[in-house]
Every structure is written in structure tokens, then in C-alpha cells.
């Protein structure tokens, strides 16, 4: 009954079966070894901690397809089709292992055929086959008829040929499955335990009244065609440009388990580890990312830099690095392995020179230009939407580190000079760090360290004119609630976020080390700050340098004070529409979405209206990643794009919880001349104005 048990021109089917398998498997393994050796070119990185948890959670993430399905929308439901494909093809892979590998290859089909197990399993595969065929039809529609923006990119000749071949191959496998089972039933009899579609299809075939010999012949031909196609897919998979079916599970397994807001520190005693200039300067995990990319384009259409017309595309960065790795990796590997004598070097001088030239080929300027590197706002949207947990930002930061610490770049020179010399990034400010406390009875920890919590003011909160009002509002709210707090005053240095995101790791570590030593000398345990960038750095990155503190964002602490009834907001003078901007470093980086909204909702008379792209899909204001101190010369201004989203909510107030967002929105409102219809306020300002029970005479501007 099994085609493998038959002989063909005097050659047993088992010999043909295993010979084909050995040849295919040889090429498969050979290519896998090549790909693995390319990854080994990368620098070492420990991603093997908590290995059992990594594998267990990767199974859940991978087979639930949640990382893919979480971005599904009515405008782009493709993730559903992808999930169906994965689940269905996984079932087929299990079926191939059982019925082809064990059944045909080891002669166990006599035990497996016509059993209840086979009938049930094949019925499931029948449904899966239909779903895959429907998914393939959907792929054709979205690839060739209604192409979403994320899939629009220039394709080379190979890509244009391979895509339809893949669609055809997968569809053929599904049709072969249905044909094999139905012709087998027609040839050898329809069992009572037959599959869901196999039995009716077999009856339809029998109605043609073709001879049994013909049924058997067609059955055998289909079986061997199916087997050869499977082996062809096995060989093709590691040679394909689409390597994610082989590597995405591993990439998810070895994803970062550190806090989302932390970057990997640089060992300043080993300058060779500072940044990346060549492909082998990235870590092995960063190179694995390149294989795992699914080409889905979700990062491409979510990136504010790309959407605003900047030269950066997270997708093209990954694909460009992958192509560069494939082009130069094997030569670099051979060069590293070679240990030639003087005579052999002279003999092979031309080849060696070529190899060394390839090895020295820089990524910067070849794969990605400097403008693209500096276009990133580190908003993390690309990583948040990536279904395989690629880490785009870490690669960009490594490129920046090379430019700032090894090479020479004038980018952000003034900002970094100020950080190094003055301890803050602001140039030309006339304020001292304690000017804002005038008329406020606020303790300075250096004078009286008996405080329950430290208010970390931050550079922008202490030195930038508009943000001073926010800082004062936070302080007054804490005073109204009876919180025993203090500030560092003139001793406070920048937390280091701008330096670190701009690639100047040495300046960041200098600032962070000084701050940690100062905080520890005052025995500080709890910190509250109104800046998400300070919050993220203090909470997620200072522990890398030994600074472990309990850190709160001001919206978290104030929400808790309201719950404890230490604060009670009063009603607004009239009904007002408020929209809220989720700061990237508060939301996507630290998953704080509800506290700011709860504060807005706690004020009677205010109605919260979400703008386009909110919460984890919030659109960046454009100020992160050090961009606050860089000119935006190319494309549309990101803050003006985000203002357009806010105007769409028809709100009178834009509420923020970040000094960068506040400043970027204020600039956009002024440039768009919208200040008559819309105010930009930090939530602390908004709330404090509704805590001043006896002075609640604030007048909000009408939108009319």
C-alpha cells in the first residue's frame, strides 16, 4: 500500500526514499553550518541565563502567535492569516514526521493506515489544508492586488521570481495532501475511519470509473511528487532570503530579558567594545536578528522617522545588514581562520589584500548613512511591533557609540560638551537648578537629608522656562498631600539619558556614577520624577552601575495619593475635552498607561478623548533619543505630525506627562498658530489647578 514498499526498475523504494533524504539533508545541514558560522563572527553576549524560562516562554509566544496578532487591525488583518499558516503548517510538519518519516521511511504504515488515529488526524489536516489555501489566496491579494504600505519596497529579480514560486509550492503541498489520501482510498478501499474530505473526494474519483491500476499509479506519483517537493523545501529553506521560519523561534528564545528601557553598558576598560563600525562588531544575537526578520514591514510603517520623510527605515536597516553579512561574512570568516606563513602570504597576497579590504568595509556609509543613524528617536515602536523580537534600537545605539567614542562626529557636540562640563545638556540657560523653589518651602537634601522621598527634578524641569511651571506644580501637589520630600538642588547632575542615547556612553557613565554615589551618600531609597527619561534611567539603567532605588513617575505617586484621599480634585469650571500623549519612555518602555489617564478622569468635568495612535501604539513627539538637541532638517517635523493627531481629537487641552513632549507640542502649536484653540499642559499642572479649591479661577481658552 505504501509507495516506498514498492520497487521501481528493480530498485527498492526504501533505497530511493533514504537516498533522496540523505542528499537533501546534507545540503540542508551544510547551509545551516554556514549560517551558524556567520553568526559566530559576532561578539560574545550572554543570552543563556534562565534557559528553561526562555524556552518555555518562547513556545508560548511562538505558537500562540501573540507577538504577531497583537498588531492586528481591521485595516490590516494579515497577522490572522499568518497565524493560521503557522498553526496549519506545524500540524502538517507533525503529520509528515509521523506518516512519511516513521510510516513510509520505517515501514510503519501498515500499523498507522486505516486507524481511528489516522482518520482524525487527517481530518484535522484536511481543514488545515483548506485554511492554508485560503491564506494563500489572501497572500496573492495583498502581494499583487491590494498591497499594504508596509509591503511596498523595491524587489530584485530573484525576489520577484521566488515569491510566486513559494505561493505555488505551499499550495501544491496542500493539494497533494488531499489528492494522496483520496486516491489512496479510491485505490485500496474507503475505510470507515477515513478522513473528513478524503472519503467524499474518493467517492467522486470512483465515479469516474477509471481502473484501479490507474488510481494506484496516480496515488504513487502524487506521493513521490509530494516527497520530492518537501525535500526541495528542506534544501531551499536555509538558502532562502526568508530565513525566519528557521530562526524566529531561536530569536524569541534569546530575546532580552532585561528591562525594556535599559541599554547594554560598555566596558570602558575595553575600548574595542565601544560601538559597531563593521558587521563583526555586532554581537551574535544582533546578527541572529538579521536572519529572523520576517520582512513584514510593521516596523517600517510604525517608525516616526520614516513616516516623516527621514532616511531611516528599521526594516531596511535589518535587511541591509543581513545582505552585508551574506556578502562579506564568508570572506571575513576565512580571513580570521587563516594563519598563513610569510611565504604563503606573499603567494596569496592579492587574495589576502582583497579579503582584508572586505573585512574593513564599514557598515556606516555602506549599509546606513549617518543622517539615518541620527534620525532615530529611540521611541521603541519598531521593537514593540516586531513579531520576532528584533532589537533595532540597540544596533543604532551601537553605531552611534562608534561615531561618538571611536570616530569623530560633530553631531550633538554642544549638548555633550555641556553635559561633560556643566552637568546638563542645555546651552545658554540663565537659570540655576534651585531658582524654581523661590517662595516654596522645599528641603534641599544636602542641608537636611531626613526626607521620605527625593524629588528628582531633572535638567529640563529645573532649567527650561516652560517646564519650571510643571516642576512647581508637582512640588505644590506633594506639599498639599503632606509628602516629606526634598531635592538635591545644585548637586543634581543630568541623569545621563541624552548622553547614552546619543552614543556617548563614557559621559553617561561619568554622570550616572556621580549621581549614584551622591544618592547613596544621602541614603536615598525612594525617588519621584516628572521626566519619563529620568524615570527610565534611574529605574532601569542605574542598577547596572550599582544604583538600586525605588523610582516613581509623578503620575504614579499622585494617583496613589488620590486613592489614599490625601488629595481631592474639584470640578472644572466647565466641561472640557482633554487628549493625552503617551510618552514613549513612560508607556512603551515602562508600561505606564493607566496612571496618567486615571488622573485626568479624577477631575470632574474633564472628558478624556484618545487621539489617533495611543497607548503602546502612541506616536512619538520627536524629542527622544537625544533628538531634543538636534535640528530636524529633513522631511516633516515629527511634533507637527503628532499635533495633527491631537487636533483630530477636537480637544481643548493636550495633556502630557513628559517635559520633552510638553516642549515639542508647545513648539508645534506655536508653529501651526493653534495656541488660540489648544493648550498644552502637564498633568501635574492640570491637576494642581483643580486642587486649589479657594483659588480655582483658572480660565481655559475656548476652542471657538
HEC string of 69-137 equals HCCCCCCCCHHHHHHHHHHHHHHHHHHHHHHHHHHHCCCCHHHHCCCHHHHHHHHHHHHHHHHHHHHHH
pLDDT of residue 572: 78
Q: Comparing 271-406 with 563-695, is the CATH topology the same?
A: no
CA–CA separation, 556 and 532 (whole Å): 11
CA–CA separation, 172 and 658 (whole Å): 55
Per the CB < 8 A criterion, the answer to whether 62 and 96 are in contact is: no
Q: Strand pairing of 653-656 and 679-682?
A: parallel
State whether residue 572 is helix, strand or coil.
Answer: coil
pLDDT of residue 428: 66
pLDDT in tens, 97-145: 999 999 999 999 889 999 999 999 999 999 999 999 999 999 999 888 8
HEC string of 332-400 equals HHHHHHCCCCHHHHHHCHHHHHHHHHHHCCCCECCCECHHHHHHCCCCCHHHHHCCCCCCHHHHHHHHH
CA–CA separation, 220 and 183 (whole Å): 9
pLDDT of residue 163: 87
pLDDT of residue 336: 64
CA–CA separation, 465 and 451 (whole Å): 27
Q: How many residues does the chain have?
A: 704
pTM for the model: 0.91
CA–CA separation, 126 and 226 (whole Å): 16
Q: Strand pairing of 11-12 and 7-8?
A: antiparallel
- Edge-first strand listing for the sheet containing 606-608: 606-608, 576-580, 653-656, 679-682
pLDDT of residue 679: 92
- How many CA atoms within 13 Å lie on the side-chain side of 539? 21
Q: Which residues, other chains included, contact 286 with Cβ-Cβ below 8 Å and sequence gap of 6+? A: 42, 45, 391, 394, 395, 398
Q: Express as a percent the part of the chain with pLDDT over 90.
A: 78
pLDDT of residue 361: 67
Element (H, E) at 517: helix 505-521
pLDDT of residue 697: 40
Q: Strand pairing of 485-487 and 550-553?
A: unpaired
Element (H, E) at 530: none
CA–CA separation, 242 and 237 (whole Å): 8
Provide φ and ψ at 193, rounded to 5°. Answer: -90, 15
Task: Give the other-Cβ count within 10 Å of 510's Cβ.
Answer: 18
CATH number of 416-561: 3.40.50
CA–CA separation, 112 and 195 (whole Å): 13
CATH classification of 563-695 is 3.40.50.620, yes or no? no
pLDDT of residue 340: 44
Cell triple for 149:
504600505
Helix axes 284-292, 392-401, angle to 10 degrees: 130
HEC string of 654-667 equals EEECCHHHHHHHHH
CATH classification of 271-406 is 1.10.1060, yes or no? yes
pLDDT of residue 427: 77
Cell triple for 501:
542615547
Provide φ and ψ at 67, rounded to 5°. Answer: -65, -20
Per the CB < 8 A criterion, the answer to whether 701 and 670 are in contact is: no
CA–CA separation, 177 and 196 (whole Å): 13
Q: Please name which of 661, 597, 331, 677 lies closest in space to residue 464, comparing C-alpha atoms.
A: 661
Low pLDDT (below 50) residues in the chain: 339-346, 349-359, 693-704
For the chain, the domains span 3-45+76-240, 271-406, 416-561, 563-695
Hunting for cell 513579531 — which residue is that? Answer: 387
Per the CB < 8 A criterion, the answer to whether 522 and 484 are in contact is: no
**Exposure string (b/e) for 73-107, b if CB count within 10 Å is 16 or more?**
eeebebbebbbbbbebbebbeebbeebbeebbbee
CA–CA separation, 493 and 491 (whole Å): 6
Amino acid at each position: 500500500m505504501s509507495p516506498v514498499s514498492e520497487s521501481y526498475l528493480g530498485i527498492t523504494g526504501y533505497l530511493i526514499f533514504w537516498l533522496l533524504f540523505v542528499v537533501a539533508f546534507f545540503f540542508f545541514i551544510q547551509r545551516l553550518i554556514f549560517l551558524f558560522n556567520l553568526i559566530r563572527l559576532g561578539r560574545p553576549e550572554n543570552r543563556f541565563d534562565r534557559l528553561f524560562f526562555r524556552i518555555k516562554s518562547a513556545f508560548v509566544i511562538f505558537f500562540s502567535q501573540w507577538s504577531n496578532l497583537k498588531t492586528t487591525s481591521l485595516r490590516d488583518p494579515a497577522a490572522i492569516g499568518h497565524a493560521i499558516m503557522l498553526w496549519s503548517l506545524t500540524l502538517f510538519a507533525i503529520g509528515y514526521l509521523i506518516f512519511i518519516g516513521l510510516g513510509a521511511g520505517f515501514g510503519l504504515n501498515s500499523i498507522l493506515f486505516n486507524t481511528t488515529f489516522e482518520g482524525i488526524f487527517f481530518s484535522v489536516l484536511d481543514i488545515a489544508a483548506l485554511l492554508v489555501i485560503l491564506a494563500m489566496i489572501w497572500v496573492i491579494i495583498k502581494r499583487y492586488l491590494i498591497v499594504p504600505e508596509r509591503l511596498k519596497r523595491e524587489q530584485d529579480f530573484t525576489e520577484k521570481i521566488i515569491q510566486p514560486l513559494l505561493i505555488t509550492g505551499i499550495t501544491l503541498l496542500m493539494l497533494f495532501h488531499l489528492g494522496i489520501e483520496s486516491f489512496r482510498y479510491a485505490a485500496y478501499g474507503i475505510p470507515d475511519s477515513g478522513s473528513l474530505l478524503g472519503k467524499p473526494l474518493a467517492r467522486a474519483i470512483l465515479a469516474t470509473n477509471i481502473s484501479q491500476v490507474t488510481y494506484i499509479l496516480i496515488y504513487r506519483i502524487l506521493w513521490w511528487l509530494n516527497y520530492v517537493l518537501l525535500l526541495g523545501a528542506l534544501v531551499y529553506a536555509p538558502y532562502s532570503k526568508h530565513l525566519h521560519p528557521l530562526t524566529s523561534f531561536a530569536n524569541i528564545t534569546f530575546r532580552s530579558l532585561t528591562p525594556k528601557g535599559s541599554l547594554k553598558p560598555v566596558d570602558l576598560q575595553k575600548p574595542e567594545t565601544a560601538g559597531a563600525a563593521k558587521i563583526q562588531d555586532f554581537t551574535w544575537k544582533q546578527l541572529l536578528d538579521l536572519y529572523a526578520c520576517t520582512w513584514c514591514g510593521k516596523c517600517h510603517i510604525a517608525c516616526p522617522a520614516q513616516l516623516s520623510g527621514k532616511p531611516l527605515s528599521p526594516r531596511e536597516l535589518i535587511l541591509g545588514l543581513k545582505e552585508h553579512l551574506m556578502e562579506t561574512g564568508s570572506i571575513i570568516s576565512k580571513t580570521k581562520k587563516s594563519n598563513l606563513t610569510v611565504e604563503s602570504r606573499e603567494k596569496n597576497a592579492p587574495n589576502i589584500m582583497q579579503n582584508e579590504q572586505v573585512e574593513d568595509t564599514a557598515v556606516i556609509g555602506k549599509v546606513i548613512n549617518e543622517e539615518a543613524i541620527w534620525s532615530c528617536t529611540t521611541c521603541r515602536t519598531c521593537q514593540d511591533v516586531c513579531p520576532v523580537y528584533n532589537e533595532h534600537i540597540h544596533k543604532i545605539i551601537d553605531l552611534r557609540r562608534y561615531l561618538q567614542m571611536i570616530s569623530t562626529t560633530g553631531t550633538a557636540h554642544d549638548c555633550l560638551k555641556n553635559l561633560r562640563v556643566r552637568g546638563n545638556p542645555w546651552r545658554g540657560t540663565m537659570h540655576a537648578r534651585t531658582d524654581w523653589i523661590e517662595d516654596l518651602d522645599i528641603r534641599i537634601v544636602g542641608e537636611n537629608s531626613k526626607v521620605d522621598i527625593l524629588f528628582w527634578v531633572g535638567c529640563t524641569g529645573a532649567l527650561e522656562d516652560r517646564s519650571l511651571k510643571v516642576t512647581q506644580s508637582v512640588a505644590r501637589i506633594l506639599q498639599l498631600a503632606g509628602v516629606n520630600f526634598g531635592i538635591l538642588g545644585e548637586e543634581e547632575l543630568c541623569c545621563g539619558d541624552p548622553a547614552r542615547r546619543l552614543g556617548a556612553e563614557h559621559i553617561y557613565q561619568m554622570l550616572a556614577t556621580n549621581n549614584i554615589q551622591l544618592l547613596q551618600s544621602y541614603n536615598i531609597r525612594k525617588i519621584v520624577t516628572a521626566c519619563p527619561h529620568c524615570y527610565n534611567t534611574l529605574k532601569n539603567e542605574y542598577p547596572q552601575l550599582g544604583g538600586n532605588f525605588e523610582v516613581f513617575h509623578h503620575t504614579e505617586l499622585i494617583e496613589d495619593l488620590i486613592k489614599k484621599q490625601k488629595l481631592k480634585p474639584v470640578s472644572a469650571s466647565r466641561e472640557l475635552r482633554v487628549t493625552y500623549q503617551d510618552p514613549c519612555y513612560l508607556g512603551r518602555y515602562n508600561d505606564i498607561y493607566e496612571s496618567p489617564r486615571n488622573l485626568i478622569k479624577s477631575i470632574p468635568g474633564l472628558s478624556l478623548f484618545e487621539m489617533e495612535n495611543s497607548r503602546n501604539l502612541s506616536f512619538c513627539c520627536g524629542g527622544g533619543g537625544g533628538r531634543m538637541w538636534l535640528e530636524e532638517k529633513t522631511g516633516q517635523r515629527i511634533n507637527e505630525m503628532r499635533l495633527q493627531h491631537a487636533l483630530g481629537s477636537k480637544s481643548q487641552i493636550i495633556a502630557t506627562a513628559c517635559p520633552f513632549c510638553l516642549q515639542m507640542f508647545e513648539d508645534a502649536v506655536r508653529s501651526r498658530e493653534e495656541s488660540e484653540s489648544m493648550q498644552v499642559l502637564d498633568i501635574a499642572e492640570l491637576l494642581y489647578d483643580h486642587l486649589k479649591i479657594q483659588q480655582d479661577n483658572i480660565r481655559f481658552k475656548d476652542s471657538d
